[in-house]
Amino acid sequence: MQNFSQQDQDRIIADASRQNWVDKYAPENIQPYLKLTRIDRPIGTWLLLFPCWWSLALATPAGAFPDPKLFLLFAVGALVMRGAGCTVNDLADRDFDGKVERTKKRPIPSGQVSVLQAFIWLGIQCLIGLVILLQFNLFAVYVGIFSLVFVAIYPFAKRFTYWPQFFLGLAFNYGAWLGWAAERGELGIVPPILYVAGIFWTLGYDTIYAHQDKEDDALIGVKSTALKFGESTVHWLTAFYTLTIALIVMCGLLMQLSLSFYIIMAGATAHLIWQIKTLDIDDGDRCLILFKSNKIFGAIVLFAIVAGKFNLPL
């Protein structure tokens, strides 16, 4: 196994794994661009992707698995567009990131990538994302283009509201609309319900994430739900996660999913309860672990929806 020198260790961004593949294996000259895309921290891709997959699975006819081609297109699209969103975010926050311990090693504030280079990289990612979007039906293409509004707004939300996590939810859960549109070529009552469920989920997990930066955020004058909720965070999380589960279950009821869906959703509920019960808002490492664990929640919900399309023997 490759051993890192102290210089190598010093380049690793705070919330990336000490053993992430970008720092271990990627050529040094492209590492800054991969980090700008957050490929060294893949949790965001998962959190963007799961609402797409949930929606696609819900839109799939009973007794069938989601279309593998659409499944793969959403996976690649989530990777690319999450990277584009992160690049926009880093460009917008370049004057703040250098003042925050967790973000000061990011490519732009650390000087590894210039603003011009970041804009060029953003253009390349957006072009790839457009190529992927054009593989969907025309209705889904129009639906997908509208998502850029939320991608553009989110990076600036922390400057004017204590609820930037809400704006992140608007952007990160847009797949609830797009997955359904890609499968069915239209929209119905289920996508908006799933979208709202995802927004509440994001309010929960990103509040946990924001507790890592609350001291720095307060010092530099940016806002977050972590600062707003403070010691009441657990009560807010309980409300957000309760609404998340209730709305996802409502989607299951509307789609007449089988009993398997509800049984597996009990496991998803237990996972969110575990997050709430074990949260320590003053332990940054704990907050990061719980935040990253939401990929497990996303996977359980996806499994529940797919299983609910079949009448499985119990």
Phi, psi of 26 (to 5 degrees): -70, 145
Contact by Cβ (8 Å): 179, 302: no
Say what the pLDDT of residue 18 is: 59
**Alpha-carbon distance 52 to 166, whole Å?**
18
pTM attached to this predicted model: 0.88
Q: What is the extent of the structural domain holding 274? A: 23-308
Alpha helices of the chain — where are they, by DSSP H? 6-11, 21-25, 31-36, 43-59, 68-92, 94-97, 115-133, 138-146, 148-157, 164-172, 175-184, 190-210, 214-220, 225-229, 233-254, 259-278, 284-292, 294-308
46 Cα distance to chain centroid: 6
Mean pLDDT of the region 23-30: 77
Tell me the three state secondary structure of residue 288. helix
Q: Is pLDDT at 303 greater than 60 in this prediction?
A: yes
In a domain, 248, yes or no: yes
Least confident range of 3-7, 126-130, 265-269: 3-7
Tell me the three state secondary structure of residue 232. helix
184-224 tens-digit pLDDT: 999 999 999 999 999 999 999 999 999 987 777 777 777 88
100-155 tens-digit pLDDT: 666 777 888 878 888 898 899 999 999 999 999 999 999 999 999 988 888 888 88
In a domain, 4, yes or no: no
Q: How far apart are the first and last CA of the chain?
A: 44
Say what the pLDDT of residue 93 is: 77
In a domain, 61, yes or no: yes
* Of 241, 245, 278, residue with least CA distance to 261: 245
In a domain, 291, yes or no: yes
Say what the pLDDT of residue 100 is: 67
In a domain, 2, yes or no: no
Say what the pLDDT of residue 195 is: 98
155-171 tens-digit pLDDT: 888 888 999 999 999 99
CA-to-CA separations, 265 to 236, 300, 303, in angstroms, rounded: 21, 7, 9
In a domain, 266, yes or no: yes
Q: How confident is the model at residue 11 (pLDDT cuts 50, 70, 90)?
A: low
In a domain, 16, yes or no: no
Contact by Cβ (8 Å): 240, 225: no
Average pLDDT, the chain: 88
Mean pLDDT of the region 222-229: 88
297 Cα distance to chain centroid: 12
Torsion, Cα 138 253 46 179, to 10 degrees, reads 0
Q: Check which CATH number belongs to the domain holding 106 and give it.
A: 1.10.357.140
In a domain, 14, yes or no: no
Report the half-sphere exposure of 100 (CA within 13 A, side-chain side).
Answer: 24
Q: How confident is the model at residue 1 (pLDDT cuts 50, 70, 90)?
A: very low
- Count of structural domains, the chain: 1
